[in-house]
């Protein structure tokens, strides 16, 4: 979905997964500072939107998701995952129930596969699943924002801000009164600062929830069975996920950021040292400078100096070993 806000002054289109919205509007650090101060908004209209209606919607989703949602109060936001039979992360959903409908936004382009899976699991339950991406756009307001929310718009209220499920036809009109726009790069910089994983960025085909710190926020440990629960329970009891997410402070003297997939090594092993991890997301932060998220082997010492490609990196614990 190509956003109409790409016609705003200074808009530079994003690339890759986030194609369709603006990477920035001419001043990345100003946009970051505005979001950090609780002003402006982020156009996330490229994200997929899926709804589930019907009287069994919460009980049914409770059987499929990693999160406890059978008694989810109306208006309470939550996150949930769908795992493979082996416990690997397949989908991440950002949910809210408005009393009649469960609304979820998901990574761009993943909604069709998600809906196909949900449809295959309906059986006798009274539920209807719909792809609302074509008519609903997601808009993010940062924490502390006092921007007006149009009447009737569904809102996900989180510690990081509010996600609005806005009619796509109203997107341009809302942008005109919501404050200065911030691009997806500013949003990503704050996401990295907040140590929040993102499907397809911090995950690969074998990622399990414990590695990313998704236990608690997206995985409930006291609920009934769901696909992949055996892996979650085993790792929780043994306490040994194979990898762990770390936050890296990168050497600011380097001109180029290490891109996603860049090998991470122990600094003491020299340039030919063995790979102990890889960069998942790297950004330039308006206060912290160049920083990144990375996945490293669980047994890497938490105080070990690292090297990402040719860039020195100091680690900060996100998931304890």
pLDDT digits (tens, 9 = 90+) for 78-124: 999 999 999 999 999 999 999 999 999 999 999 999 999 999 999 99
Residues 59 and 113 in one domain: yes
Distance CA 238, CA 31 (A): 43
Which residue is listed with tokens 């493979």? Answer: 84
Distance CA 96, CA 111 (A): 16
Say what the alpha-carbon torsion angle 143, 148, 150, 152 is, to the nearest 10 degrees: 60
Neighbours of 242 (CB within 10 A): 14
Residues 144 and 117 in one domain: no
Of 76, 110, 131, the residue that ends a domain is 131
Distance CA 206, CA 192 (A): 21
Question: 183: helix, coil or strand?
Answer: coil
Tell me what pLDDT residue 123 has: 93
* Tally of domains in the chain: 3
Residues of the chain with pLDDT > 90: what percent? 93
Confidence band, pLDDT 50/70/90 cuts, at residue 273: confident
Pairing of strands 22-24, 306-308: unpaired
Identify the bridge partners of residue 128 per DSSP, sorted by sequence position: 53
Position 275 in a domain: yes
Position 206 in a domain: no
Say what the alpha-carbon torsion angle 140, 34, 3, 162 is, to the nearest 10 degrees: 10
Which residue is listed with tokens 């890296």? Answer: 248
Position 91 in a domain: yes
Residues 119 and 185 in one domain: no
Residues 158 and 305 in one domain: no
Position 209 in a domain: no
Position 221 in a domain: no
Tell me what pLDDT residue 272 has: 76
Exposed / middle / buried, residue 38 (Cβ in 10 Å: 0-12, 13-18, 19+) = middle
Structural domain of 73: 48-131
Tell me what pLDDT residue 117 has: 98
Mean of the per-residue pLDDT values for the chain? 96
Pairing of strands 243-250, 22-24: unpaired
Position 235 in a domain: no
| CB 268 within 8 Å of CB 224 | no
- Tell me what the mean pLDDT of segment 2-16 comes to: 97
pLDDT greater than 90 at residue 240: no
Of 194, 210, 229, the residue that ends a domain is 194
Residues 124 and 145 in one domain: no
pLDDT greater than 80 at residue 169: yes
Residues 122 and 269 in one domain: no
Is the alpha carbon torsion for 25, 28, 29, 31 positive or negative? positive
- Tell me what the mean pLDDT of segment 228-241 comes to: 92
Tell me what pLDDT residue 274 has: 87
Pairing of strands 181-182, 41-43: parallel
Largest interatomic CA distance in the chain: 60
Position 28 in a domain: yes
Residues 82 and 112 in one domain: yes
Which DSSP symbol is given to 26? S
Position 204 in a domain: no
pLDDT digits (tens, 9 = 90+) for 282-314: 999 999 999 999 999 999 999 999 999 999 999
Neighbours of 228 (CB within 10 A): 22
Tell me what pLDDT residue 238 has: 86
Best-predicted range by mean pLDDT (1-10, 234-243, 265-274): 1-10
pLDDT digits (tens, 9 = 90+) for 36-68: 999 999 999 999 999 999 999 999 999 999 999
Closest alpha carbon to 181 in 156, 154, 152, 147: 147
Residues 53 and 127 in one domain: yes
Q: What is the domain-level CATH number for residue 68?
A: 3.30.70.1400
Residues 248 and 123 in one domain: no
Of 131, 149, 173, the residue that ends a domain is 131
Neighbours of 273 (CB within 10 A): 15
Closest alpha carbon to 61 in 113, 107, 121, 110: 121
Neighbours of 151 (CB within 10 A): 5
């Amino acid at each position: 979905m190509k956003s109409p806000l790409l016609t705003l002054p200074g808009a530079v289109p994003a690339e890759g997964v986030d194609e369709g919205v603006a990477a920035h509007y001419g001043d990345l650090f100003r946009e970051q500072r505005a979001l950090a101060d609780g002003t402006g908004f982020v156009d996330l209209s490229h994200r997929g939107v899926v709804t589930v209606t019907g009287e069994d919607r919460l009980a049914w989703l409770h059987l499929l998701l990693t999160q406890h949602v059978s008694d989810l109060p109306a208006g309470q936001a939550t996150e949930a995952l769908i795992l493979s039979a082996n416990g690997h992360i397949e989908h991440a959903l950002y949910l809210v129930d408005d009393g009649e409908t469960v609304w979820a936004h998901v990574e761009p382009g993943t909604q069709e596969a998600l809906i196909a899976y949900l449809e295959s699991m309906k059986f006798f339950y009274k539920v209807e699943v719909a792809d609302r991406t074509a008519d609903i756009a997601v808009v993010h307001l940062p924490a502390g924002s006092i921007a007006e929310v149009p009447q009737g718009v569904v809102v996900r209220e989180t510690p990081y801000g509010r996600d609005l499920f806005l009619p796509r036809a109203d997107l341009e009109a809302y942008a005109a009164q919501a404050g200065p726009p911030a691009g997806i790069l500013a949003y990503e910089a704050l996401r990295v600062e907040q140590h929040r994983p993102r499907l397809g960025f911090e995950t690969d085909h074998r990622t399990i929830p414990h590695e990313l710190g998704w236990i608690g926020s997206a995985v409930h440990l006291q609920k009934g069975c769901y696909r992949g629960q055996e892996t979650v329970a085993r790792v929780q009891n043994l306490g040994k996920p194979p990898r762990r997410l770390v936050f890296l402070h990168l050497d600011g003297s380097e001109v180029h950021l290490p891109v996603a997939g860049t090998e991470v090594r122990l600094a003491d092993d020299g340039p030919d040292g063995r790979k102990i991890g890889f960069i998942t997301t790297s950004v330039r932060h308006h206060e912290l400078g160049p920083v990144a998220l990375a996945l490293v082997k669980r047994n890497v010492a938490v105080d070990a100096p690292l090297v990402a490609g040719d860039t020195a990196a100091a680690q900060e614990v996100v998931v304890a070993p």
